[in-house]
Amino acid sequence: MKRLIVPTLASVFGAALLALLVYGVTHQSPSRTLDEAVQSGHYRLAPEAKRALPALTGGYGAPLAAYTGKVVLLNFWASWCAPCEQEAPLLERAQRVLEHHDATVLGVAYKDITSDSLAFVHRYHLTYPTLRDATGDFAQAYGTDQLPESFVINRSGKVVAISRGEVDQPFIEAAIKLAEHAS
């Protein structure tokens, strides 16, 4: 019995270190679960929907769950990201259409300095709500590891389309069509 103590302790310690390593690796690498679900057509509920993020203008914004029943074009961006600047006018134009169909663009500023984000919003006259993801945890739940990235969430709160990179007109039109179709 006494002989088993050291090997047992060593095994437990080794297993704990291995678990820590696995946790670190899985925590760092972006998840592509949502992409696979969209490709297969078995849509999944938007992650972290109940999480309230700080609003860019202060206080806390409504969580995604509060948008259930609406189509949401969730867009991750940052003021230092050049492609985000390119797509900002496109998203604002989309917002003008979406807001008439019980739908909205929802911006999430990713690891950005608040004053820079606000300057960006003013520069591109963005009217849609924008939240702050200072930790990057919310974006990580969507497998976001580059900017910009956008997700179309249907009225049931499920992710139905993903754009990993700058959005294009067909992606925007698909979101608008989804909003128009269901309104």
Partner 1 sequence: MRPRPRKRALSLAATLALVLLALAGAGGAIAASAPRTSPVVPRTTLPAVESQVMCVTCKIPLTVAESPQANRERVYIQQLIDRGETLPEIKRALVFQYTNAVLALPPSHGFDLGVYLVPAAVVLVLLATVAVLLPRWRRGARAAQAARTAEEIPPPSLDTADAARLQADMARFD
Residues 106 and 139: beta-carbon distance below 8 Å: no
Q: Cβ of residue 110: shortest distance to partner 1, in angstroms?
A: 8
Q: Cβ of residue 164: shortest distance to partner 1, in angstroms?
A: 15
CA distance 66 to 57: 18
**For partner 1, the closer CB: 11 or 127:** 11
**Contact status: 75 vs partner 1 (CB under 8 A):** no
Residue 140: partners with Cβ closer than 8 Å, 6 or more residues away: 30, 31
At 76, is the secondary structure helix, strand, or coil? Answer: strand
- The sign of the torsion formed by the CA atoms of 122, 126, 130, 133 equals negative
Question: Using CB under 8 A, which of the segments 55-63, 68-76, 131-139, 167-175 binds partner 1?
Answer: 131-139
The two tokens of residue 33 are: 């679960």
Residues 15 to 54 in contact with partner 1, rule: CB under 8 A: 17, 20, 28
Q: Cβ of residue 158: shortest distance to partner 1, in angstroms?
A: 28
Q: Which residues bind partner 1 (CB under 8 A)?
A: 6, 9-10, 13, 17, 20, 28, 78-82, 110-114, 116, 134-136
